[in-house]
Amino acid sequence: MQDGQKLYKEKGMVRSVVILDNVITKMQFRRIGKETGIYEWERYIDASSVADWEKIGIDWLSKGIDPDK
């Protein structure tokens, strides 16, 4: 996962969002993202606890509105 994301960033990816189906998986992805530096441009959304997850994800991708703030 980390190598693939770093390659995407090198090729011009600005932001990425990952939609997950439970809070534990979200926490695991976030931890890995922070450990590897991917978190700088990638956010993780738990669709099981956020009703408007799609809008939040699109806002992060298109407008840079950070769902973690």
- What is the spatial distance between Cα 43 and Cα 35, in angstroms, rounded to a whole number? 14
Examine residue 68 and state whether it is found in any structural domain, yes or no: no
For residue 66, pLDDT over 80 is answered with yes
Count of domains in the chain?
A: 1
For residue 1, pLDDT over 70 is answered with no
Q: Which residues contact 45 (CB under 8 A, 6 or more apart)?
A: 17, 18, 19, 20, 26, 53, 56, 57, 67
Give, for 60, the enclosing helix (H) or strand (E). Answer: helix 53-63
Examine residue 20 and state whether it is found in any structural domain, yes or no: yes
Examine residue 69 and state whether it is found in any structural domain, yes or no: no
Examine residue 22 and state whether it is found in any structural domain, yes or no: yes
Examine residue 47 and state whether it is found in any structural domain, yes or no: yes
CA distances from 44 to 29, 41, 52 (A): 7, 10, 13
Structural domain harbouring 32: 2-63
Considering the entire predicted model, what is its pTM? Answer: 0.85
